[in-house]
Structure 1
Amino acid sequence: MSSVMLVTGSASGIGRYVAEAYYRAGHRVVFADRAAAQVRDICAALAAEAGGEAVPWALDVRDEQAWEAAITDTVSRWGQLDLVLNIAGYLHVDALLSAPLAAVHDHLDINAKGVIFGTLLAARQMVRQPHGGHIINVASLAGIAAVPGLTLYTASKFAVRGFSLAAAQELAPHKVAVTVVCPDAVQTPMLDLQVHRAEAALTFSGGRILSVAEVAAAIEEARQHRPLEVTLPRHRGWLAKLTSLYPPLTTWVAPYLRQRGQRRQATWQQKPG
């Protein structure tokens, strides 16, 4: 059955891949991103394809009024809002002592407040629908285990995960499900920002870099089964939860993980393109 979906961050990376995949599967999709020209071009290119309906929408997730307008337009257009995917994200790589104060605002405004606005305002629409709805928020394993070197990013993703887990409990009686998806490092433009930055060595400490297709598959599984939380890969999720359960463990394993990350980061730097 065709669903009505709004996907943030749909101009690139995970958001674009997911939005296009759902469009091609026959769903009605709002491609939402503050990069208005890019989502217009994406939707124009998709227009000739058979499948669902695609609508570009210029959305700055930091703006609650912009969120209200996007949701109102979606419901006016299609009569409902079944799924919101909060995927838009921000990362500024810098050591904490060197980070500009503006980066504090940007991390929390985009990564945390953007998700909170989207969840809250979508939920207010969904509770009025007989069938409810589903909200999927993309956090990170950095939202489970602290990542020194990406401290501001960690703070924002901890906020996303904590908010999502609490919101899920409040909204469940209203037939609105909330799932938080926490992936390890993914091959996206955000990863490119980290390749040559020593502060980001821990990003590369996993066995491999995830593809956007793998994250999209996890999101689709979450859409089907509506779990509270998804981590991927699963073994890294358990390691993150273990270090979160006993924070001193981080200080013991971080040097080893950093060294492994530095080696793999150096290999990644040598890749063409």
Structure 2
Amino acid sequence: MAFVMLVTGSASGIGRYVAEHYYRAGHRVVFADLSAPKLERICAELPAQDGAAALPVAFDVRDERAWERVIADTVDRWGQLDVLCNIAGYLQVDALLDVPTTAVHAHLDINAKGVIFGTLVAARQMRRQPAGGHIINVASLAGIAAVPGLALYTASKFAVRGFSLAAAQELAPHNVAVTVICPDAVQTPMLDLQVHRQEAALTFSGGRILRVEEVAAAIEEARRRRPLEMTLPRRRGWLAKLTSLYPSLTPLLAPYLQRRGQQRQAKLQRKSHDATCLTSSDAE
């Protein structure tokens, strides 16, 4: 059965893949992000699909009034909002003592407050719907285990996870489900920002980099089962929860994971360099 979904962060990475996937599956999808030109181009390039609709909507997730307007417009157009996927995110890599004040605001405003505003406004609409609704918030394993080198990102994702777990309990009686998904590193433009930054070495310490398709598959599983929380991959999720339960383990494990992450970064840097050289050679 077709449903109405709003996906933030739809101009790139996980958000774009998820929004396009559900459009191609025949659903009505609001493609939401900051850039109107990008969204319009993405939606214009989608093939015609029976029963499906793609609506590009540019707005800032930090703006509560914008959330109210977008969800009201969605309901006016299609009569309901069944699923909200909060995927939009922000990351600036800086050593903690070098972090500018603007980065503090951006991490908490976009990653945390943006999710909170979206959840609140969507839930108020969903509780009025006979079928209720489902809110899926994408956090990170950094929202379970603290990541030295990404302190602000960690803080914002801890907020997303904590808020989602608490909100799920409060909203359940209103037939509104909340799921928080915590993936490890995913191959997206946000990951590319970290490849050459020593502070982000722990991001690359896992066994492999996840693909956006894997996160999209987890979102679909969450949509069907409505669990409280999902981690990707599960083994890294358990490691994250262990270090969260026993924070004193982090200083013991961090040096090993740091070296492992640096080795992965070095491989990715060489791969990037080789690809650049190949492109330059082709251009000549």
TM-score norm. by structure 1 comes to 0.99
Secondary structure in structure 2 of the residue aligned to 1:146: coil
What is the CA–CA distance in structure 2 between the aligned matches of 1:250 and 1:221, rounded to whole Å? Answer: 31
What is the CA–CA distance in structure 1 between the aligned matches of 2:103 and 2:218, rounded to whole Å? Answer: 30
Letter in 2 for 1:241: K
Secondary structure in structure 1 of the residue aligned to 2:196: coil
Say yes or no: does 1:203 pair with 2:197.
no
Shift of 1:196: 0.2
Corresponding residue for residue 237 of structure 2: 237
Question: Percent of counterpart pairs with the same letter?
Answer: 79
Corresponding residue for residue 35 of structure 1: 35
Residues 191-221 of structure 1, C-alpha deviations (whole Å, 9 max, x = no match): 0000000000000000000000000000100
Corresponding residue for residue 192 of structure 1: 192
Shift of 1:59: 1.5
For the pair shown, which has the larger CA radius of gyration, 1 or 2?
2
Q: Report if aligned partners of 2:26, 2:49 keep a CA contact under 8 Å in 1.
A: no
| Runs of 5+ consecutive residues of structure 2 not aligned to the other structure | 276-284
Residues 61-118 of structure 1, C-alpha deviations (whole Å, 9 max, x = no match): 0000110110000000000000000000000000000111100000000000000000
TM-score norm. by structure 2 comes to 0.95
What is the CA–CA distance in structure 2 between the aligned matches of 1:47 and 1:116, rounded to whole Å? Answer: 33
Letter in 2 for 1:270: R
Corresponding residue for residue 260 of structure 2: 260
What is the CA–CA distance in structure 1 between the aligned matches of 2:247 and 2:259, rounded to whole Å? Answer: 20
Secondary structure in structure 1 of the residue aligned to 2:45: helix
Q: Report if aligned partners of 1:205, 1:257 keep a CA contact under 8 Å in 2.
A: yes
Corresponding residue for residue 222 of structure 1: 222
Corresponding residue for residue 105 of structure 2: 105
Shift of 1:49: 4.6
Shift of 1:46: 1.2
Residues 226-251 of structure 1, C-alpha deviations (whole Å, 9 max, x = no match): 00000000000000000000100001
Q: Once superposed, what is the RMSD of the aligned Cα atoms? A: 0.8
What is the CA–CA distance in structure 2 between the aligned matches of 1:148 and 1:129, rounded to whole Å? Answer: 43
Shift of 1:53: 0.3
Shift of 1:36: 1.2
Which stretch of structure 1 is more off in the superposition, 165-174 or 37-46? 37-46
Corresponding residue for residue 94 of structure 2: 94
What is the CA–CA distance in structure 1 between the aligned matches of 2:269 and 2:2, rounded to whole Å? Answer: 42
Alignment length (residue pairs): 273
Q: Report if aligned partners of 1:3, 1:82 keep a CA contact under 8 Å in 2.
A: yes
The list of structure 1 runs, each at least 4 consecutive aligned residues, that deviate by more than 2 angstroms after superposition, is 47-51
What is the CA–CA distance in structure 1 between the aligned matches of 2:36 and 2:179, rounded to whole Å? Answer: 27
Say yes or no: does 1:121 pair with 2:111.
no
